[in-house]
Amino acid sequence: MPEMLALRDTDPREVGVYQLLGRLGEGGQGVVFLAEGPTGSPAAVKLLSPTTDPQVRSRFLKEVAAAQRVARFCTAQVLDAGIFERRPFIVSEYVSGPSLVEVVEQFGPRGGAALERIAVATLTALSAVHAAGMVHRDFKPGNVLLGPDGPVVIDFGLAAVPGMTTTGLSGQVTVGTPAFMAPEQLAGTRVTAAADVWSWAVTMVFAGTGELPFKGESLTATAFAILQSEPNVGRLPEPLGSLVLRCLNKDPAGRPSARSVLGDLVAAGARLVGPMPPMASPLAADEEAASSQRLRAALSEPPQGNGDGLIAGRPAGRPRSARHGSRSSWRRRRAPVILAAILLVASVGVLAFNLPRRGAGSDQLTGSNKELSAEAVARAQAINWVLQQVSRAVVVSCDSQVCTDLANRGFPAADLLTLGAMSTDPLGSKLVIVTAAIRAQFGRRLVSVYAPATIASFGSGNARIEIQLVFADGSIKYDEAQRAALRSRKTADAQLLTNSHIAASPMARAQLLSGDIDPLLPILLAGMAASHPVYIVDFVDQSPGGGSASLLRTVDLATAVRTAHLTSAAYLNWMQVFIDAQTAEYLPAWVGKITLPTGQAVLRIRYGAPSPLS
């Protein structure tokens, strides 16, 4: 069982009527606390990232209401939910026990009666979820807790809410979620209960053998294996092995239901852990998920090229009004998510990108503020960069003046950590804005201990302001992690070039082989190539003041590919629908059709900062 950690200074002490006792785990989208309820009983409180979007809040509360209707068959009961200081929270039954992934990693694969109990209990839980008309969407070993009363499934329902997917109570899972995703999720088609059945089968292979049925040296290679290769289920006992193979049918229609598999196991002699769940009710189509896409604020167009044509330059995923004629059909055709949350090296996460407003470019700021001091100009450029480039789910530390300026410009105050005489370090943040005051406060320790990598730099001399990446283990460990990440990126990107549906210009090929590409881009491209061929024109990085840790976060794609057998308009439409369908973690910060100086039209896709290492 994961050790409970002490509350941090920035953590609340109470959420609603629940008194927080300590931290159980932290994932990319929120923190899980051990809490005491009003009756004195323990509970798990999951506090998610802030949101002011009424659509997201409404969808969150609807999903929680649906989760509360799930029968208590091997699931952690949802007790309460609400909004606390702009942050959605969900309270569930506290399960005292390790996750399945922790048990397998520490003690080896399960077998015999233990494996049977895990299979039966998880099928019982999924059957109950499906009977309530829900789909789990993120079933994996990290979301199976082995409590004193047996296996319990957690985190059902939240994956349906944009920006609300989280890791399990036991923290991050060492096997990335894409390894447990069904082919239809990777291909961007409609997700039903059949996807949960696939994920259950992959989880059973992991539980019984310690291995995955589809392997790859990178996330991209794993996705290819899921889409194209036959599974290797190892020596699972019968009839479990045969049932798992049936559940790994690449055609969702060919997979049995969770209740059917449970019935087959019981018929073969397995013991139920509770009453047989009811039959599944019809599941709603995923078009509803599209209607709750997170609203996105405007971002200025890229400095190079001109936006034109079907897609104007805009942040990805902005909802379209039904009053715009044919654009309403985008909502009906929108595919469900392709990529779920992935464990990132050294907990450097890339989350949702809500960019607040149109901002002046750094050249405009410089030109219109010549009378300002060099430090004021650099500060304005750095603030503008943060507003345009940084995820709103990333905590940024800064001196009091910069933090105040950012809050006044719309950056969430809850995501700002002010450094000063009363603060000891920036470790509670992902990025630190290094001004002269910050350099004077921390000296050489800033780079050697806290923030070893520069992402962007503005100004020079003592007026210089840098955006640096916080890495808790210091510069030596960061250098080691960076070298390993570079090797991983080179391997994954070289694998991408072996895909027959992906072509690239000589420049783009060289860039991929260099390992300097933000790892989110190859994952997105691999998913797109599963449906239609793509042609990579170039990778670019338009961030002003780009530093040593800046990867290329922007790609230009051809707007027409002959082998796709689609018109240019239809092909461009498909790309935009596919991109809009991504989960918050993988939704680009900006997407727009532009014309390059050469006259070629491209679709430009840009991710925000900071980039994950691999």
Sequence-ordered list of residues with C-beta below 8 angstroms from that of 30, at least 6 positions apart, any chain: 46, 47, 48, 49, 87, 166
332 alpha-carbon distance from chain centroid: 24
CA atoms of 141 and 176, how far apart (whole Å): 10
Tell me the Cα Rg of the chain. 24
- Apex 72 CA angle, 68 and 74, nearest 5: 125
Report helix, strand or coil for 491: helix
Maximum distance among all alpha carbons in the chain? 83
Give every CB contact of residue 522 below 8 A, 6+ residues apart in sequence.
220, 492, 493, 496, 512
Rounded CA-CA distance 543/265 in Å is: 56
Q: Positive or negative, the Cα torsion across 314, 319, 320, 323?
A: negative
- What is the per-residue burial (b if ≥16 Cβ within 10 Å, else e) of 437-456? ebbebbeeebbebbbbbbbb
- State CA 83 to chain mean position distance: 21
Between strands 396-398 and 431-434, the pairing is: parallel
| Rounded distance between C-alpha atoms, residue 410 and residue 549, angstroms | 26
Closest CA to 577 of 199, 251, 286: 286
Q: How far apart are CA 117 and CA 343, in angstroms?
A: 28
Decide if 138 is catalytic: yes
Q: What's at 179, amino acid-wise?
A: A
Q: Measured between alpha carbons, how far is 296 from 280 in angstroms, rounded to an integer?
A: 35
Distance, first Cα to last Cα, the chain: 28
Token pair, residue 297, equals 């604020």
User: What's the burial of 595, exposed, middle or buried (CB within 10 Å: 0-12/13-18/19+)?
Assistant: middle
Catalytic one of 11, 138, 415, 516: 138
What are the residues whose beta carbons fall under 8 Å from the beta carbon of 335, sequence distance 6 or more? 188, 189, 190, 286, 577, 578, 581
The number of beta carbons lying within 10 Å of the beta carbon of residue 398 is 30
Side chain identity, residue 517: I
- DSSP reduced 3-state for 256: coil
Measure the CA–CA gap between 183 and 192, rounded to whole angstroms: 12
Q: DSSP assignment, residue 373?
A: -
Q: Which residue has the tokens 């060492």?
A: 174
Amino acid at 445: R
- Cβ atoms of 495 and 515 closer than 8 Å: no
**If residue 431 lies in a helix (H) or strand (E), which one and from where to where?**
strand 431-434
* Active site positions, annotated: 138
